[in-house]
Structure 1
Amino acid sequence: MTKYFSDVIVEFLRQQDIDYVTFNPGASFRGVHDSLVHEDNAEIAPEIVMACHEEIAVAIAHGYHKASNRHMGVFVHANVGLLHASMAIFNAWCDRVPLFVLGGNGPLDAGKRRPWIDWIHTSQNIESVVKDYVKWCDQPTSQRATVESLYRGFKLMNTPMKAPVFVALDFDIQEQPLQDDVRLLPKTAAQATELPPLDALSADGLATRLRDSRLPVLITDFSGQDPRTVAPLTALAERLGLAVVDRGNRMNFPSTHELNLSGATAGLLEDADLVLALEVQDLAGALGSFLELDDHGKPANGAHVVTIGANDLLTSKWAADYQQFVPVDQAVAADALGSVNALRERADDASFATPEFTARRDERVKKISAAHLRARAEWAGQAAEAKGNEIINVAAAVDEIHRAVRDETWVLANTGSLTIDGWVKKLWPLERPQSYLGLNGGGGLGYGLGASVGAALAHKDDGQIVIDLQSDGDFLYTPSALWTLSAYEVPLLTIVMNNRLYLNSTQHAARIAGNRDRDIDRAHIATSFYDNPVDFVTLAQSYNIHALPRVEAIADVAPAVREAVEFIKANGRPALVEILME
């Protein structure tokens, strides 16, 4: 029986433990598609998750990886599919998520192209569409070169700093019979290169500096990408009495911990004299949230700043997601988990805790704890007060949703917008690693539904309730993700937070009008859905998704969410709740 090169691509996916592939079908990877569904490959082929748009497919793989630290393969159709996928790939780049994106192309040999369609769907340097926001890309032109590209791409995307890669699969090469001298490499050939932890001398010096500091502050942002980091990081903060500012691109540090001052007014932290930034992307923004900065982004009070992580190892020449340059006192490229453990080892040494340090730490912890409790009490009070509003307020809704699910083991796959996300971090107990997966990374709308489908697939059989707090504007970019959600019976709770606005754009419009002394009541024009509102309940039902009647009163939020949760638990299928809000 003839074996084709596309069969080897499927074998590679299985070798690298890829259980799912996701795509919107296209002829440019028809060879691989045939190999995925071929009866003789049934035992090895990953399960297919079909999407109705490439942007959704990439987002599904994005959310799946954030929820599980496992990979989906993503296939995109030629140049048109890659163009559709490009926004979602950019989100993953900014979010530092490794995605394995494979695209059809060609045939590059012009003599083998069909009239018209093969010509318009073939591109020279097809990877140029995304080359500035993928970590690596290639367009191999032979079977042997393609095998090498698959291994190199898989290895590089998982090597810190992690990010997407793209490999173009030539149409003709996929469909060729397998050459006798072409075979897979060992699985370990794709093993990522690892960063070392802090060396002993650096760990000793930094631990001593943290011990002797008057008010040391730990900032973390992406360290929770590795969920194993959360517990030792928490223990290190406790041992040293560090005030913690979690920038929240992942669940890095328990939000309810007494040392967590994320989102609190600067107050106490204005006197910080040492800042340790662990895997922080926007350092200027992080420092500026509690310290006055000079023109160069350095703390005006002279606080010593140390960074640990791999952020400087990944920059784009096109996108400025690397953020403002900050001249720090010490920058170390090192593995976050290993470095935290190295610091803990020094801090746990019996000779480390001098009486003066212990007294200073304990007094500092009392002040930090008091500030933490004041902040959370203030936020809870604001949410409680908002429940008296005539129209449902976002803080009130977020609080009531949590009240409905607090006895479940839940995972927040998406929080929809900065406004919703901010209140989630203030009101929900984000305590378990990977219980909160963060926002979209690149600020590109269309992420929420697809990413939540991926996250829910990752938890499909473990009984956890995966929740998508879905903003209405983002929803309308990729509503056909509901088809995938329904077709594969993915047990996702989608809660549409419907304010009938692109709120951020409305706020900007009002700000400009106010600055110009113009009518701010016109800010909703072309930023709202007031004149033609969307019925999300009917939309969901059209995709055969169980949807409850729209909620318009705060008292009905928790009962509706509980009913949806019970439906998911009883049926293993998705459910949707729409909340009409201000």
Structure 2
Amino acid sequence: MTTPAPTYFSDLVVEFLHQQDIDTVVFNPGASFRGVHDSLVHADNAAIAPEIVMACHEEIAVAIAHGYHKASGRHMGVFVHANVGLLHASMAVFNAWCDRVPLFVLGGNGPVDAGKRRPWIDWIHTSQNIESVVKDYVKWCDQPIGQRATVESLTRAFKLMNTPMHAPVFVALDFDTQEQQLEEGVRLYPATATEPTLLPPLDRETVDDLARRLLAARTPVLVVDFSGRDPETVAPLVALAEALGLAVIDRGNRLNFPSNHPLNVSHTGTDEIAGADLVIALEVQDLVGALGSFLSLTDQGLPENGADIVTIGFNDLLTSKWAADYQQLVPVTRSVAADTRASVEALRAVAEDPRGPFAAPGFIERRDRRAAALADVHGRSRAEWARQAEESKQREHIHVAGAVDEIHRAVRDEEWILTNTGSLTVDGWVKKLWPLERPGSYLGLNGGGGLGYGLGASVGAALAHRDDDTLCIDLQSDGDFLYTPSALWTLAAQQAPLLVVVMNNRLYLNSTQHAQRIAGNRDRDIDRAHIATSFYDNPVDFVTMARSYGIHALPRVEKIGDVAPTVGEAVRHLKNHRAPVLVEILMD
């Protein structure tokens, strides 16, 4: 069946989404984009219109698109209602900004022409410079007026969000423009107009300079953070580290390097790299935090031992004038903006060259000795973490380490993906106990530290894997859950195959810890730290909540011996029905 030519401008917007291979859009409905909404559901557009995922809150909608992209590398379009919807969405947009995820966010507005506004509602839902709500934490934004201008804005936005550094974009669609009949001569640009501008790999001079530094270094360290956004970087990165005997610190915003690889000494606190004389930081966001995890630093963030610092990445290509997520300035030895995967491959080629400097017997002996020492640290550290987890299982109440270990025991034979790890505490134990080795199997935390991310992002990731056998697991903290519980409605409506494990300690743990710390510093009663940071006095029943939305939920787990059997039962149900399941674990 041939799709008829667009009749209204909103039909052309749908055609643009189809042209850019956006097969799904997500939104909470709003009248300010009713023209596009009509075009999405119009029967004559069925052959090209993306599938609609409805959310009950704009923050959930943006989080769904956030998780969908991290899980698949594909885009889900997001529509938000004029001003009030954008205000609801703004926290989730900030998370995506800090997480360097490209999101295509389109908002309604207007009509800007005051003569076309309906009384009251169009006036309170029309804003001058509506993009100002998010302009300081999107890569580009626009409020075009007119059909040709809007086509250009959509095209530019799509191109810019995919050009490194990746980040969200926002375009406001004027209410009146959406509903106009398509003007003669208005058409889309060619699909290729949105192809991103690409960065080159390291140039020859830079490769040679890095090779000289690596050859001379006694204790070279490779720090990685976001390179695993492209899963294809993991294998060549492993090969590079092995060829050079590099100690690897994975800051963990993605799965950049296998957690169980013997060269991975993240979280070990080892003295083996305390004397590092060369650090190569690959797509590292918080450089001071990364360096300070194993080196003593000056107040300028420089290593006190004078180690050379070389950064490769895109951080300097994207900075906000409002948000300080660009972190402390470090006057590094050398900073290079280059394509990550191509740069790793260029360094790998030199490192593995059988006639190159790294093939010399003297270097190979030094490399092997270094690698053996790192492997020993790695092995001892993982054995100690496993011992601590086993010891925690003897406690009266479930401890996070034991719970994380038992959850893995129940899913270890599955092809799983961790869509979210809920909190820094849970995340830390996951990285110590789980074998994070398959590229793309760990999607990282929320980026901006904003609660309300986990469940929506996990729904998005599960939708990305709806048609395969992947087991998507959301290790969901209870406090984050309570920001956006209506994400359960979308989860149930879409029957997204997601295992939600609620790690319920009935606390905003981070806030409780801060309250304890300040009370201790002031020699005050730390036993009062739970006041206004806990749910002890009015606990939430997450099992009943899930069932009320039509989601299969098992009885709450309160003993460590029941964790693995209950999670195992949940996995079997999910595999048999390809439908969501919730398990609640009550824990310290």
Q: Does 1:374 align with 2:383?
A: no
Distance (whole Å) between structure 1 residues aligned to residue 459 and residue 517 of structure 2: 35
- C-alpha displacement of 1:349: 1.3
Q: 1:384 aligns with which of 360, 380, 390?
A: 390
Query: Does structure 1 residue 47 correspond to structure 2 residue 46?
Result: no
1:197: which partner in 2?
201
| Counterpart code for 2:587 | M
Match of 2:120 in 1: 116
The 1-side partners of 2:518 and 2:234 are apart by 42
- State the AA in 1 paired with 2:84: V
- Report the residue type matching 1:264 in the other structure: T
Amino acid corresponding to residue 548 of structure 1 in structure 2: L
Contact in 2 for aligned 1:414/1:470 (Cα 8 Å): yes
**Residues 205-220 of structure 1: matches in 2 within 5 Å?**
205-220=209-224
Is it true that 1:458 corresponds to 2:461 in the alignment?
A: no
| 1:370-392 Cα shifts (integer Å, max 9, x gaps) | 00001101100000000001000
Q: Which residue number corresponds to residue 249 of structure 1? A: 253
Out of 119-128 and 194-203, give the one that drifted further: 194-203
Residue 130 (structure 2) aligned to one of 121, 126, 130:
126
State the match for 2:184 in structure 1: 180
Q: Which residue of 1 aligns with 2:434?
A: 428
* Alpha-carbon offset, residue 461 of structure 1: 1.1
Determine the structure 1 residue equivalent to 2:103.
99
1:360-371 equivalent positions in 2, closer than 5 A: 360-371=366-377
User: Equivalent residues in 2 for 1:82-481 (5 A)?
Assistant: 82-352=86-356, 353-481=359-487
Unmatched segments (≥5 aa) in structure 2: none
Match of 1:519 among 518, 521, 525: 525
Select 2:578's aligned residue among 562, 572, 581.
572
Query: Does the 8 Å contact 2:262/2:375 carry over to 1?
Result: yes
- 1:445 to partner: Cα distance: 0.1
C-alpha distance after superposition, 1:190-237 (max 9, x if no partner): 010001110011112202321221010000000000111000000000
Following superposition of structure 1 onto structure 2, how do residues 558-569 of structure 1 map, counting pairs within 5 Å?
558-569=564-575
- 2:561 corresponds to which of 551, 555, 559: 555
Contact preservation (8 Å) 1:266, 1:289: no
Letter in 2 for 1:339: S
**Match of 1:366, as an amino acid?**
A
In 2: Cα distance, 1:34 partner to 1:321 partner:
39
* 2:498 paired residue number: 492
Q: Secondary structure at the match of 2:26?
A: strand
Give the structure 2 partner of residue 4 of structure 1.
8
Question: In structure 2, how many angstroms separate the alpha carbons of the residues matched to 1:227 and 1:112?
Answer: 49
Determine if contact 1:91/1:442 at 8 Å carries over to the other structure.
Answer: yes
Shift of 1:316: 0.3
Inter-partner Cα distance in structure 2 for 1:363 and 1:185: 58
The Cα offsets for residues 38-81 of structure 1, whole Å up to 9 and x where unpaired, read as: 00000100000000000000000000000001000000000000
Q: Work out whether residues 22 and 77 of structure 2, in 8 Å CA contact, stay in contact via their aligned partners in 1.
A: yes
Q: Deviations for 1:286-310, whole angstroms, at most 9, x for unmatched residues?
A: 0000000011100001111000010
Q: Which of 26, 30, 34 is residue 26 of structure 1 equivalent to? A: 30
CA contact (8 A) 1:266 1:291 kept: no
Question: Is the partner of 2:274 in helix, strand or coil?
Answer: helix
How many angstroms apart in 1 are the aligned matches of 2:283 and 2:517? 34
One-letter code of the match for 2:503? M
Q: Which moved more, 1:202-211 or 1:82-91?
A: 202-211
Distance 2:343 2:30 in 1: 45
Deviation at residue 170 of structure 1 after TM alignment: 0.2
Distance in structure 2 (CA, Å) of the matches to 1:23 and 1:177: 24
| d(CA) in 2 for partners of 1:264, 1:149 | 48
Task: Output the CA distance in 2 between the equivalents of 1:19 and 1:299.
Answer: 48
Structure 2: how far apart are the matches of 1:292 and 1:470? Answer: 35
CA contact under 8 A between 2:298 and 2:304: conserved in structure 1?
yes
Alignment: residue pair count: 582
Letter in 2 for 1:210: L
SS at the partner of 2:196? Answer: coil
- Alpha-carbon displacement from aligned partner over 1:411-467 (angstroms, at most 9, x marks no partner): 000000000000000000000111000000000000000000000000111100000
Q: Give 1:489 deviation, angstroms.
A: 0.4
The alpha-carbon deviation at position 565 of structure 1 amounts to: 0.5
In structure 2, give the amino acid aligned to 1:479.
P
Cα distance per residue 1:502-522 (max 9 Å; x no partner)? 000001111111111111100
Asked if the contact 1:309/1:334 (under 8 Å) is kept, the reply is yes
The answer on whether the counterparts of 2:270 and 2:377 sit within 8 Å (CA) in structure 1 is: no
Cα-to-partner distance string for 1:263-300 (whole Å, 9 max, x where unaligned): 11131110111000000000000000000001110000
Alpha-carbon RMSD across the aligned residues, in angstroms, is: 0.7
> What residue identity is the alignment partner of 2:459?
V
The TM-score with structure 1 as length reference comes to 0.99
Deviation string 1:135-163 (CA, Å, 9 cap, x unpaired) is: 00000001000000001000000000000
Mapped to 1, the partners of 2:349 and 2:421 lie a distance apart of 36
Measure, in 2, the Cα distance between the counterparts of 1:208 and 1:570: 56
Shift >3 Å, 4+ stretches: none
**CA contact 1:212–1:357 (8 Å) conserved in 2:** no
Structure 2 Cα separation of the partners of residues 512 and 160 of structure 1: 41
Distance 1:208 1:359 in 2: 17
Q: Aligned with 1:83: secondary structure?
A: helix
For the residues of structure 1 that align with 2:215 and 2:571, how far apart are their CA atoms?
47
Please state whether the residue corresponding to 1:256 is helix, strand or coil. coil
Unmatched tracts of structure 1, length 5 or more: none
For residue 422 of structure 2, what is the amino acid of its counterpart?
G
C-alpha distance after superposition, 1:325-365 (max 9, x if no partner):
11100000111101000101111212221111001000000
CA contact (8 A) 1:203 1:342 kept: yes
* TM-score, with structure 2 as normaliser: 0.98
